Amino acid sequence: MAAPRTLFDKIWDAHLVDTTEDGLSILYADRLLIMEMQPQAFEGLRMAGLKVRCPDKVLGVMDHVIPTHPRDQAIEDPVARMMVEQAYKDYEEFGVELFDLVDKRQGIVHVIGPEQGFTLPGVTLFCGDSHTATHGAFGAFAMGVGTSEIEHILATQTLRSPKPKNMRVTVDGDLSIGCSGKDIILAIIGAIGTAGGTGHVIEFAGSAIRDLSMEGRMTVSNMTIEAGARAGLIAPDEKTFAYCEGRPRAPKGADWDRAIEYWKTLPTDEGAVFDKEVTLEAEKIAPQVTWGTNPEEVAPIDGVVPDPADAPNEDRRRMIQRSLDYMGLVPGTAMKDVAIDRAFIGSCTNSRIEDLEAAAAIARGRKVADGVEAMVVPGSGLIKDEAEARGLDKIFTEAGFDWREPGCSMCIAMNGDNIEPGQRCASTSNRNFEGRQGRDGRTHLASPAMVAAAAVTGRLTDVRELETRSIE
Amino acid sequence: MDKFNTLTGVAAPMDMINIDTDKIIPKLHLRTIKRTGLGKVLFEEMRFETDGSEKPDFILNKEPYRNSKIIVAGDNFGCGSSREHAPWALLDFGIRCVISTSFADIFYNNCFKNGILPIRVTKDQLDALMADASDTENPELTVDLVNMEIKRPNGVTVPFELDAFRRECLLDGLDDIGLTMQKGDKIDGFEAQQNQAQPWLNSAPPA
Ligand code: SF4
């Protein structure tokens, strides 16, 4: 009998075109998602006189630089306009399908892939954004790549890569009330560190992961890169199939039955060996919020800002001190005493319908605190429509949140949405790096419910202390 | 891509761990349609005040480091995003080699695609090289890719490892696309077999 294999091994093996002498694999790319940030890839093709090998396996969208104001207003920023115009030209010239700004299907690249059924179990999927691991929630091998690799995939439909190792993070047990996929992944990153998964792909397993919805699983997988691993995977199951069924690009009819049959063979075999294993207990996870300038610098909401003096070594001590200086925080301060100026609900981590529901259940009937500016940016036009059909937009606007058009917005702050120097923002995004949301801006990452709670109280707040309201 | 053979140049010590891609090039500068010209914004937030004036304490603003060709940095260099603008900015500034105890995976890969050599060394080796680079009198290192060693100012050499294919590509300035296209028939074969097994993967977008 063949040796037991992991989910990742199976996908890798099924896409191996060739191996080079020194262990690099040439891996077939089933899917490539592109956005307006990599015009240099098309520039490269043009210079080399190359074509896109399989335009049908490529899908283009605009999300990073586009404003979130109403779409009938022109893009004022000349650089953003230039990038959008270049994308139109490139996609047209190379025959790649594009969801443009007036298309309802437009949205954040990692939201629209699954939404369209472009993301499917068992596929290899690449994109020039490091949060491509999001798609791994479907049991796909999805990885962020650089511009040269995008160009390589466009030209050859393959990627050259060494095979990463297998790591498994198992989270068993029941998540407590007020916690979500975001809290799980922040707790994982806090436990293993921003380099804990370097060189590996992480399979997320265990009952707490299985119990999550597809949205929750996407949130977990989304932040795999913040633990240093380029890809995360979750075994496909009935929930995965139910999510995919009927989506525009999903298989239909007899193909659907064949696909399901194949997808069921994907989960990790009993006895497969992982190079690294980590286990967490879901019961022990409290709502998480970051205090520093990388996602590993995280604490439970009922915790305190750490003291650099307690650091295990000199490198860490300096790192923590630097983070606290940047964040303007004093050791020992209760996380719940940290006042905020801004709140952002959005990004490919937390802008799906379930995320908006969780935030709305806190926002309903409450008001954004005085002096706080809060915004909600849905992940796609389709999500925005659904939220509006259900009146979520009203809940938010009545509470004083801004309700915007879809895009990356303040996750990366390159579209004109940003926080001011020294401002403190509770954010559902995935990165709290220095300057990420605006120069000298301070970011605290948390779940949608936690950010909504911070918005209405004006400080980081334990969402378990607020009553959750019906949004029907 | 420029060939990489032997490189002798000033090495800038950056004794800091987790230098992420946002520090290497702030994301606002990702909004460009070209690969060149990014050297002037390399390490922008550490290097310049908001008004554009230089921060005098930053290493690359000091002599003799203004002409650095090598960076010696703390652990986990290049963590963060997949942006290839990070190696482009380093290259445009004139950096062809980064030495650290470890690199983030994506950054590490991206370096080779742009003719930059990332070298992994042990903590002890890094400490020694960091001290060499900090000597403003003679901060020059020689990186010899042919013999896979770094020559320190005191003449001592530090060996390093690199996978053979990557070494070959850097030495010859070879680009990956050309190499892979030589395997066109294998890719054709794979597609034919996959189209049989999973025809749904090949479907054109719905009309
Ligand atoms: S929302 Fe943020 S992390 Fe996600 S694709 Fe956009 S910029 Fe990247």
Minimal C-alpha gap between B191 and chain A (Å): 9
What are the extents of the domains in chain B? 6-193
Judged by DSSP in three states, B51 sits in coil
* Ligand 1 cavity residues, CB under 6 Å: A 63-64, 108-110, 129, 131, 347-348, 408, 411-412, 429-430
Predicted pLDDT of residue B203: 67
- Judged against a pLDDT cut of 70, whether residue A6 lies above it is answered with yes
Residue pair A359/A451 in contact by the 8 Å Cβ criterion: yes
Task: Report the distance separating Cα A457 and Cα A463, nearest Å.
Answer: 10
Task: Report the distance separating Cα A34 and Cα A354, nearest Å.
Answer: 25
- Token digits for B109? 């890969």
Residue pair B143/B158 in contact by the 8 Å Cβ criterion: no
Predicted pLDDT of residue B162: 95
Q: Judge whether B183 is closer than 8 Å to chain A, CB to CB.
A: yes
Minimal C-alpha gap between B101 and chain A (Å): 12
- Judged against a pLDDT cut of 70, whether residue B178 lies above it is answered with yes
Give pTM, 2 decimals: 0.88
pLDDT in tens, A171-213: 999 999 999 999 999 999 999 999 999 999 999 999 999 999 9
pLDDT in tens, B29-53: 888 888 888 999 999 999 999 899 9
Q: Indicate the range of A50-64, A398-412, B14-28, B55-69 predicted with least confidence.
A: B14-28
- The crossing angle, in degrees rounded to 10, of helices B164-172 and B105-112 is 40
Q: Judge whether B164 is closer than 8 Å to chain A, CB to CB.
A: yes
Summarize the confidence of residues A277-302 as an average pLDDT: 97
Q: Which residues of A touch B204 (CB under 8 A)?
A: 56
ipTM: 0.92
Task: Report the distance separating Cα A72 and Cα A408, nearest Å.
Answer: 18
The candidate with the shortest Cα–Cα distance to B56, out of B64, B44, B48, B68, is B48
Q: Judge whether B84 is closer than 8 Å to chain A, CB to CB.
A: yes
Is B165 within 8 Å of A21 when comparing Cβ atoms?
yes
- Token digits for A352? 């799906």
Predicted pLDDT of residue A221: 98
Q: Per-residue confidence at A21, pLDDT binned at 50, 70, 90?
A: low
The candidate with the shortest Cα–Cα distance to A139, out of A305, A4, A11, A290, is A11
pLDDT in tens, A234-286: 999 999 999 999 999 999 999 999 999 999 999 999 999 999 999 999 999 99
Task: Report the distance separating Cα B175 and Cα A42, nearest Å.
Answer: 16
Say which of B82, B165, B205 has its CB closest to residue A128: B82
Summarize the confidence of residues A386-405 as an average pLDDT: 98
Judged by DSSP in three states, B79 sits in strand
Task: Report the distance separating Cα B160 and Cα B172, nearest Å.
Answer: 19
Question: Which CATH code of 3.40.50.280, 3.30.565.10, 3.20.19.10, 3.40.50.2300 fits the domain covering B6-193?
Answer: 3.20.19.10
Is B183 within 8 Å of A18 when comparing Cβ atoms?
yes
pLDDT in tens, A350-394: 999 999 999 999 999 999 999 999 999 999 999 999 999 999 999
Task: Report the distance separating Cα A421 and Cα A441, nearest Å.
Answer: 5
* b/e per residue A260-299 (b: at least 16 CB within 10 A): bebbeebbbeeebebebebebebeebbbbbbbbbbbbbbb
Task: Report the distance separating Cα B187 and Cα B201, nearest Å.
Answer: 15
Predicted pLDDT of residue B83: 80
Predicted pLDDT of residue A12: 98
- Residue B68 falls in which region: left (phi positive, over 0), alpha (psi -120 to 50) or beta: beta
Q: Which residue has the higher pLDDT, A146 or A389?
A: A389
Predicted pLDDT of residue A1: 63
Summarize the confidence of residues A53-64 as an average pLDDT: 95
Q: How does the average pLDDT of chain B come out, rounded?
A: 92
CB count within 10 Å of CB A61 equals 31
Predicted pLDDT of residue A246: 96
Task: Report the distance separating Cα B16 and Cα B25, nearest Å.
Answer: 16
Q: Per-residue confidence at B174, pLDDT binned at 50, 70, 90?
A: confident
The pLDDT > 70 percentage for chain B reads 98
Predicted pLDDT of residue B204: 66
Q: Which residues of A touch B186 (CB under 8 A)?
A: 17-18, 26
Task: Report the distance separating Cα A381 and Cα A64, nearest Å.
Answer: 15
Q: Per-residue confidence at A143, pLDDT binned at 50, 70, 90?
A: very high
Task: Report the distance separating Cα A425 and Cα A455, nearest Å.
Answer: 9
Summarize the confidence of residues B174-180 as an average pLDDT: 85
A134 Cβ contact partners less than 8 Å away, ≥ 6 residues apart: A110, A113, A114, A142, A218, A221, A222, A348
Beta-bridged to residue A345, according to DSSP, are A376
Give the residue from chain A lying closest to B29, CA to CA. A414
- The crossing angle, in degrees rounded to 10, of helices A381-389 and A392-399 is 80
Predicted pLDDT of residue A164: 95
Q: Which residue has the higher pLDDT, A159 or A21?
A: A159
Judged by DSSP in three states, B140 sits in strand
A239 Cβ contact partners less than 8 Å away, ≥ 6 residues apart: A213, A214
Interface of B with A in 16-75 (CB under 8 A): 16-18, 20, 22-23, 26-28, 30-35, 45, 50, 74-75
- Render A116-142 in DSSP notation, one character per residue: TT-S-TT-EEEESSGGGGGGGGGT-EE
Predicted pLDDT of residue B175: 80
- Token digits for A262? 């194949």
Task: Report the distance separating Cα A302 and Cα A346, nearest Å.
Answer: 24
Predicted pLDDT of residue B98: 98
The pLDDT > 90 percentage for chain A reads 92
Predicted pLDDT of residue B206: 65
pLDDT in tens, A79-120: 999 999 999 999 999 999 999 999 999 999 999 999 999 999
Q: Judge whether B192 is closer than 8 Å to chain A, CB to CB.
A: no
Task: Report the distance separating Cα A66 and Cα A409, nearest Å.
Answer: 8
- The crossing angle, in degrees rounded to 10, of helices A39-48 and A78-94 is 50
- Judged against a pLDDT cut of 70, whether residue B111 lies above it is answered with yes
Predicted pLDDT of residue B80: 81
